[in-house]
């Protein structure tokens, strides 16, 4: 039975502007419109944009922060947790998703894609790292979210 409220981890760089920011925001919006919950790393850039898109659409966005407190949480999160474990919070982000959508992204995103695959989460890439057949590649936010929900059977 597929989850009734799929958790979609949206990962990507902490700095994003222009098209990349808008793409992540669109991903968040589409996840929320389909009844999903956005999980992200809680900071800026792609994380903020995905949370923003989800909550602007009336959905829920949860941020999982690397810090010992919730002070750096972006302004668009419904809820945030603080792990206190630095980059090990990347593991928590992907473990908390039923599927992972990588939007653009730098080295931290790469680590999240690797961790996701290691713990058995399917990964969709929207302009992110090219990891061959291990990752589903989507050319647009619509197709990325479609692929993510499709991978979950919902």
Find the part of the chain contacting a copy of itself (CB under 8 A) among 16-24, 44-52, 100-108, 143-151: 100-108
What's the burial of 78, exposed, middle or buried (CB within 10 Å: 0-12/13-18/19+)?
Answer: middle
Tell which phi-psi region holds residue 74, choosing left (phi > 0), alpha (psi between -120 and 50) or beta.
beta
The strands making up 7-12's β-sheet, listed across from edge to edge, are 79-82, 61-65, 37-40, 7-12, 99-103, 123-126, 136-137
- In the complex, least distance from residue 88 CB atom to a copy of itself, rounded to whole angstroms: 4
- In the complex, least distance from residue 96 CB atom to a copy of itself, rounded to whole angstroms: 4
CA atoms in the 13 A half-sphere facing the CB of 91:
8
- In the complex, least distance from residue 119 CB atom to a copy of itself, rounded to whole angstroms: 5
Among 7, 25, 29, 52, binds a copy of itself (CB under 8 A): 7
Among 114, 146, 150, 151, binds a copy of itself (CB under 8 A): 114
- B/e letters for 103-122, b = 16+ CB within 10 Å, e = fewer, are bbbeebbbbbbbbbbeeebb
Per DSSP, what are the bridge partners of residue 12? 103
Work out whether 26 is an interface residue with a copy of itself (CB under 8 A).
Answer: no
Work out whether 23 is an interface residue with a copy of itself (CB under 8 A).
Answer: no
Among 20, 37, 77, 124, binds a copy of itself (CB under 8 A): 37
Work out whether 35 is an interface residue with a copy of itself (CB under 8 A).
Answer: no
What is the contact surface with a copy of itself in residues (CB under 8 A)?
A: 7, 37, 39, 60, 62, 64, 67-70, 79-88, 90-92, 95-96, 106-115, 117-119, 129, 131, 134
């Amino acid at each position: 039975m597929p989850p009734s409220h799929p958790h979609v981890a949206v990962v990507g760089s902490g700095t994003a502007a222009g098209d990349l920011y808008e793409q992540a925001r669109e991903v968040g919006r589409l996840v929320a419109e389909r009844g999903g919950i956005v999980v992200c790393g809680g900071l800026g850039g792609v994380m903020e944009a995905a949370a923003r898109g989800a909550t602007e659409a009336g959905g829920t966005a949860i941020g999982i922060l690397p810090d010992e407190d919730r002070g750096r949480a972006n302004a668009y999160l419904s809820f945030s947790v603080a792990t206190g474990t630095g980059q090990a919070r990347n593991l928590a982000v992907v473990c908390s998703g039923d599927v992972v959508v990588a939007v653009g992204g730098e080295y931290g995103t790469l680590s999240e894609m690797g961790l996701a695959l290691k713990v058995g989460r399917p990964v969709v890439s929207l302009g992110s790292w090219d990891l061959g057949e291990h990752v589903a590649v989507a050319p647009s936010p619509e197709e990325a979210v479609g692929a993510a929900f499709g991978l979950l059977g919902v």
